[in-house]
Chains A and B, each alone.
Chain A
């Protein structure tokens, strides 16, 4: 026995690492739809990339209105790799928002939020909101023109909250106008408050995922092969014996265990690795080729600057442009109502059917919601070019 093996055995005897790795790597996952699951692991990889680059950025960034811009300017212009690290932080945030959105859409369309995975969905919605909050608060921090005017607009949105709007705005700003307290409070929220909730929630999300197992594509369950008129029934695939974590719900026979499963390692880990590596490479290329812009230092007195919203604000920005002044509070209720509706979704849609074509009551409004967001983004995208 080599020394390394002996050391591994010593460590295993004290920590049970061998069984932990075996449990982690050799669990059964459904075969069908496996490329779509990679969105979850890609989300995790991008969040970790945010964490690592964020730690590096805090080594130099100074959260004060007089130093914030200068510290980032120094980081970008004079620090070795500073511009690339900042670029990776920005582009991984952008791509993270896109990937986590796709992950939610996939979960919604495949009906993966249904019993017994309701809490996976709830924690996932929580993670989506927190990632969005990270992006919004992060946009304040460079304290350039774009950051300052984003801070003015975003903190002003709080005022439309019924009854406590003015209090919320004052709480965030720390004064009547955006200033030093706003920046230090937002920095605190960005690096301490949100991560303190985000990372435990990620742990809970992953624990629940391992407890119930992945829900694959609906075509991989007996529910899909019920005979219907005009349907070409495919031959039943060779079935692997049901094994943990399946059946997820012993009572719900049709959707309890997938017909085809494979080991998480190496099948799923290979796919996860390909997609995550591809995204990391894309982030790196964008960080080097485009980088993270830093406009002129914030000037509250300017009259010539035209603020351009971040791309993830475009749907809301377009909606605010479209609706009349009197209906703006109603529009701001939409995102809040939307999040509440998303949280309640698994408890409203309790029908066990997973086939998207067989659950129009949820799919049609959901598809329209997605389409509206896409169309509003498209309509507002002209403003990104400041035309």
Chain B
């Protein structure tokens, strides 16, 4: 391996010398950023689904085996089919991004990242090979290995591990860009301050996303289904998807908060930009969107139970009202100007009843923290009540309205993923590697940290 690195190292340096020393400037830079940002968003939207399917699919197969229910097996098989169909699409975008756009526009940055993150990228490449191999074996060996379910589930387990490892390896690179540490120490590189929170955040997020996504897919199939058996299956699978998605999203407030805390401790400039700076309106939109997602899911739960007259629908409606009130609290802006700095510069950083532009009810502590706690607690109660009511549901009898809510849930989740990606990638600005390499000049530099807000 040392020989391999010794061979590749000079080649990378030669390649770096051939690459443009200047990043795109002016309008060209904005256009390049827009293209890369859009393509990355598409890549993440597909790759998140593939990773999530690689983790949840084997879990559903195992659940079906334990519970001896055929519909779980059918659902897991469907997820396997999805992976085999979309794996290459997601990979093609990633390869296009790296080989053409990143190397072409930000070549110096990319060679630097490959040099620093050689080991994670090397392992990531091999887990990618492992993931794709296992995904195809898992799907195509379904029938041949039906008599050897234990072996098939073991392959599924390996697929889940490979899917997780791939996400973790690429998260090491992404987190390093936000909170760089000593790159000479592989342990410090792998355990940089935001690598754990980002990996947990993304893994849980991918699991939620695939749940909402197949919920929406099943809603479409339900509307097109002609026979009773299919209708019953897609109705159940849609409900299972949204239930799984909400159950995973419930964990995100605390994981996301922990991630933000690490950013505050280790990359204060980025955190300030998110909380008080130019990204604060987007951050406000994100926390509001989270509330809208919980409200929508609770509405689905309530409607689905009411359709069959199952118990608990009334209480779920009351919970959705509670979630609306919580979302209103979470959505309150702290400073009634674009950024806190603008408000302070105008001398208006005092409460609005004193003629200023500060709304104390919009502060993170304690109000938004309390809102996050209420989101979680109410949504846990909604999941419990829905599960309690499920024995009264007759699968296949759902109405169109519920299916529309399932599709809306998937759309909201995609919006959330794009919003979060936008915040994270832009919070580093004007840096590509926080505090070390800028987007414009690609030079190592040190930036002054903003003054803490009161």
Interface residues, chain A, with chain B CB atoms under 8 Å away: 230-232, 234, 318, 321-324, 326-327, 357, 360-361, 364-365, 368, 371-372, 375-376, 378-379, 381-382, 385, 387
Is B196 on the interface with A (CB-CB < 8 A)? yes
Is B197 on the interface with A (CB-CB < 8 A)? yes
B257 touching A322 by the CB < 8 A rule?
A: yes
- B192 (CB) vs chain A CBs: closest residue: A387
Give bound CA distance, A232 to B68, whole Å: 6
Give bound CA distance, A322 to B373, whole Å: 12
**A376 to chain B: closest CB distance in Å?**
8
CB contact under 8 A between A361 and B388, given known A326-B366, A327-B366, A378-B200: yes
Is B120 on the interface with A (CB-CB < 8 A)? no
A230-B69, A387-B193 known; 10 other A-B pairs, CB under 8 Å?
A322-B257, A324-B365, A324-B369, A360-B384, A365-B384, A368-B250, A372-B251, A382-B193, A382-B195, A387-B181
What B residues does A326 contact at CB under 8 A? 365-366
Q: How many A-B residue pairs have CB under 8 A?
A: 71
CB contact under 8 A between A385 and B187, given known A232-B70, A368-B380: yes
From A234, A364, A372, A382, B254 is in contact (CB under 8 Å) with: A372
What A residues does B261 contact at CB under 8 A? 321-322
Interface string of B54-74 (1 = CB under 8 A from A): 000000000000011111000
**A270 to chain B: closest CB distance in Å?**
22
- A372 (CB) vs chain B CBs: closest residue: B254
Q: Can you report 27 residue pairs joining A to B where beta carbons are below 8 Å apart?
A: A230-B70, A232-B68, A234-B68, A318-B258, A321-B261, A324-B365, A324-B369, A327-B366, A357-B67, A361-B387, A364-B247, A364-B383, A368-B380, A375-B200, A375-B251, A375-B254, A378-B196, A378-B200, A379-B196, A379-B197, A379-B255, A379-B258, A382-B191, A385-B187, A387-B191, A387-B192, A387-B193
What A residues does B197 contact at CB under 8 A? 379
Give bound CA distance, A322 to B263, whole Å: 12
Interface residues, chain B, with chain A CB atoms under 8 Å away: 67-71, 181, 187-188, 191-193, 195-197, 200, 204, 247, 250-251, 254-255, 257-258, 261, 365-366, 369, 380, 383-384, 387-388
Give bound CA distance, A318 to B200, whole Å: 14
Give bound CA distance, A330 to B197, whole Å: 24
- Secondary structure dominating the interface of A: helix
What A residues does B196 contact at CB under 8 A? 378-379, 381-382
**B395 to chain A: closest CB distance in Å?**
9
**A229 to chain B: closest CB distance in Å?**
9
Give bound CA distance, A369 to B280, whole Å: 31
What A residues does B366 contact at CB under 8 A? 324, 326-327
Give bound CA distance, A371 to B71, whole Å: 26
A360 touching B369 by the CB < 8 A rule?
A: no
- A323 (CB) vs chain B CBs: closest residue: B369
What B residues does A321 contact at CB under 8 A? 261
A230 touching B255 by the CB < 8 A rule?
A: no
Give bound CA distance, A375 to B252, whole Å: 10
A371 touching B192 by the CB < 8 A rule?
A: no
- B265 (CB) vs chain A CBs: closest residue: A321
Give bound CA distance, A387 to B387, whole Å: 42
CB contact under 8 A between A371 and B258, given known A364-B383, A387-B188: no
- B248 (CB) vs chain A CBs: closest residue: A371
What B residues does A327 contact at CB under 8 A? 366, 369
Give bound CA distance, A20 to B280, whole Å: 72
- B389 (CB) vs chain A CBs: closest residue: A360
What A residues does B384 contact at CB under 8 A? 360-361, 364-365
From A230, A365, A381, A385, B380 is in contact (CB under 8 Å) with: A365
Give bound CA distance, A371 to B369, whole Å: 20
**A221 to chain B: closest CB distance in Å?**
16
What A residues does B191 contact at CB under 8 A? 382, 385, 387
Give bound CA distance, A375 to B366, whole Å: 23
- B370 (CB) vs chain A CBs: closest residue: A327
**A372 to chain B: closest CB distance in Å?**
7
CB contact under 8 A between A360 and B200, given known A368-B250, A387-B192: no
What A residues does B247 contact at CB under 8 A? 364
- A319 (CB) vs chain B CBs: closest residue: B254
Give bound CA distance, A292 to B388, whole Å: 49
What B residues does A378 contact at CB under 8 A? 196, 200
Give bound CA distance, A274 to B380, whole Å: 39
Give bound CA distance, A28 to B247, whole Å: 40
Give bound CA distance, A116 to B191, whole Å: 48
What A residues does B387 contact at CB under 8 A? 360-361, 364
Interface centre among A357, A376, A379, A382, by most chain B C-beta atoms within 10 angstroms, is A379
Give bound CA distance, A96 to B169, whole Å: 32
